[in-house]
Amino acid sequence: MLEVKNLNVSYGKLQILWDVSMQIGNESVGLFGPNGAGKTTLINAILGIVRPISGEITLDGESLLKMETDKIIKHGIAVVPQDRELFPMMTVLENLRTGCAYIPRAKKKYKERLEYVFAMFPILKERLDQPAGSMSGGQQRMVSIARALMADPKVLILDEPSGGLQPSIVTEVFHGLKEIKKNVSVLVTEQNVRQALKAIDRGYILEDGKIAMADTAQNLAGNDHIRKSYLGI
Amino acid sequence: MKYWKYLICAVLLIVAVSLPKFIGVYPLQMANIILIYMALALSWDMLLRTGQLSFGIAGFFGLGGYATMLTSTYFGFNPLLSLMAAAITAGLVAALVGYSVLRLRALYFAIVTLALGEIFRVIAQNLEITGGTEGMLLKQTMFKGDAASTYWVMLAIGVLTIIISIIFQKTRIHYASTSIRNDEIVAASSGVNIFKYLVIIFAVTSAIQGLVGGAYVQLYGFVEPTATTFSINFVLMPITMALLGGLYTTWGPVIGAVLLSVIAESLKLRIPYGHLLVYGIIMVVGILWFPGGIMGFIKKMFKISNQ
């Protein structure tokens, strides 16, 4: 279980996150909020890219706070960063290899992981030798998610997975998410709340750096504030 | 296809090893120069694959040269042992310095590496045991100056550099280098320990530069801090060779070194001093017309023919 407790993060004197707490068990959890609410900052704090001023982040009871990013990844967190997901000059296969090359646990299961991601995204098997940068936006997103899954993670973090994709591809990505959550805990930040609520179990609303609401996907979809502010109903 | 590659490499190696039986002393000296610049260009490129631009080639080259001179003179090391001392000294110093300077990126790192070379030079110039501004003479060059034997040592260093470069490209060091160069956050998010890989690659490439510097001193028998051992030529020439041959490849810097060394040498004989001008024009035109270097051009041609 990934647990964030009373997390406070600031950039210099500007505090971004205020007392943020959340839990992700064997489920998929959404993190929603307007631009500038602190979603990416929270992800960066979980990954050790930004150091919090106070609070705690644990994975299966072990603190991640003093770990470097690569150690946190080796510990079982994989991430698909927003807008900077893959290595465009590398082939699809090379991109997938980088996903597990530095994680001993995943490296041992290389073939097994490869079969797992091919089952999820069959198109990748046909494009193994193609430079990832020459693929369509949707296929690139698949490569980046597949690369993160190659790490055999306990928790997969997806930062705005639908960003810049056409609607039909977005549906495909969220369909993939439903498959992924069968085996991996998922934390997804998303602007497309309507689509995301169909794919997740629970959600948190982050506004002005504070958790404004936490509930099941079903309850969030029926909440007036969410309907008005995020679904445009 | 792979077997053909191995076969071509084996034939080239046999030809290279047997070269002293067919050519005279001057062409062998020329081959030594090519091998020196080839190893420097390739080692510089290996670090550049991580996105880190180094101007410290001459610094580590000179450091290796002085390590060879000092261990031979004061400790009586035999030539091969003194070469090992050169590589280890440069590698260790790079690893130690790397712990602080590899936090820097882009031009900041480049400037610091340039400054490092200057620091090494000033130290060598001001210490009595290094011979001060006059430098030092080696009591005896390796193999008593025998052209064939010294050539084989230089060839071994060249081949070793190529092998290390290939290892860097065939193992996970390749993924680490490329991902660090592309995007450090994505690299770290893939579990790459960026700092560890940068230190390792910086130390290994500096060790190669130190080894080449040591071999240079064993070849010519002297160190001199101002115009020779820390010469800016050992920064500019390898960089232009790698640029012309093609960056981020093993064979690009090799081709660039062979081509530019041969051109420079033949021009030197035909147009005394004017060769530098012609040489510069060739570099500018080459880089303008082949931005990906010769290897990039070859790859492009193959791609076109495939289509």
The 3-state secondary structure of B170-224 reads: HCHHHHHHHHHHHCHHHHHHCCCCHHHHHHHHHHHHHHHHHHHHHHHHHHHCEEC
Q: Cite the DSSP H helix spans in B221-250.
A: 233-245
CA distance B147 to B125: 30
Q: Which domain does A64 fall in, by range?
A: 1-76+154-233
Residue of A nearest to B172 (CA): A101
Residues A57 and A168 in one domain: yes
Residue B307: predicted pLDDT: 37
Contacts with B193 from chain A: Cβ below 8 Å: 68, 70, 102
**SS3 state at A121:** coil
Residues A140 and A158 in one domain: no
Contacts with B182 from chain A: Cβ below 8 Å: 87-89
Residue B292 makes CB contacts below 8 A (sequence gap 6+) with: B246, B247, B299, B300
Q: What is the ipTM of this complex?
A: 0.80
Q: Cite the DSSP H helix spans in A68-166.
A: 69-75, 92-101, 104-108, 110-120, 123-126, 137-150
Residues A49 and A95 in one domain: no
CA distance B265 to B185: 45
DSSP A91: B
Q: What are phi and psi of B101, to 5 degrees?
A: -80, -20
Domains in chain A, number? 2
**SS3 state at A205:** strand
Residues A164 and A64 in one domain: yes
SS3 content of chain B, % helix, strand, coil (to 5): 80, 0, 20
Of B179, B189, B191, the CB nearest to A81: B189
Contacts with B191 from chain A: Cβ below 8 Å: 70, 73-74, 101-103, 151
Residues A146 and A185 in one domain: no
Residues A69 and A158 in one domain: yes
Residue A88: predicted pLDDT: 83
Of A49, A74, A88, the CB nearest to B191: A74
A102 interfacial to chain B (CB closer than 8 Å): yes
Residues A167 and A145 in one domain: no
Contacts with B192 from chain A: Cβ below 8 Å: 70, 98, 102
Residues A48 and A162 in one domain: yes
**SS3 state at A26:** coil
CB A203 within 8 A of CB A215: yes
Contact B191 A47 (CB under 8 A): no
Residue B306: predicted pLDDT: 41
A75 interfacial to chain B (CB closer than 8 Å): no
Contacts with B178 from chain A: Cβ below 8 Å: 87, 89-90
Q: Which of A91-100, B4-13, B83-92, B285-294 ranks highest by mean pLDDT? A: B83-92
Residue A85: predicted pLDDT: 67
Last residue of a domain, one of A138, A153, A168: A153
Contact B176 A69 (CB under 8 A): no
| Residue B198 or residue B265, greater confidence | B198
Residues A69 and A104 in one domain: no
Last residue of a domain, one of A121, A153, A185: A153
Structure tokens at B196: 């560890």
Contact B194 A87 (CB under 8 A): no
For B215-234, what is the mean pLDDT? 93
Residues A128 and A184 in one domain: no
CB B177 within 8 A of CB B26: no
Residues A18 and A41 in one domain: yes
**Mean pLDDT, all residues of chain B:** 91
pLDDT per residue, tens digit, chain A (233 aa), is 999 999 999 999 999 999 999 999 999 999 999 888 999 999 999 999 999 999 999 999 999 999 999 999 999 999 998 775 678 888 999 999 989 999 999 999 999 999 999 998 889 999 999 999 899 888 888 899 999 999 999 999 999 888 777 777 788 888 888 889 888 999 999 888 888 998 899 999 999 999 999 999 999 999 888 888 887 77
Last residue of a domain, one of A127, A153, A179: A153
Residues A222 and A159 in one domain: yes
Statement: residue B304 has pLDDT above 70:
no
A151 interfacial to chain B (CB closer than 8 Å): yes
B44-61 residue pLDDT tens:
999 999 999 999 999 999
Residue A63 makes CB contacts below 8 A (sequence gap 6+) with: A56, A57
Residue type, B249: T
Predicted TM-score (pTM) of this structure: 0.88
Contact B190 A102 (CB under 8 A): yes
Angle formed at CA A178 by CA A174 and CA A179, multiple of 5 degrees: 115
CB B67 within 8 A of CB B214: yes
| Residue B23 or residue A179, greater confidence | B23
Contact A68 B193 (CB under 8 A): yes
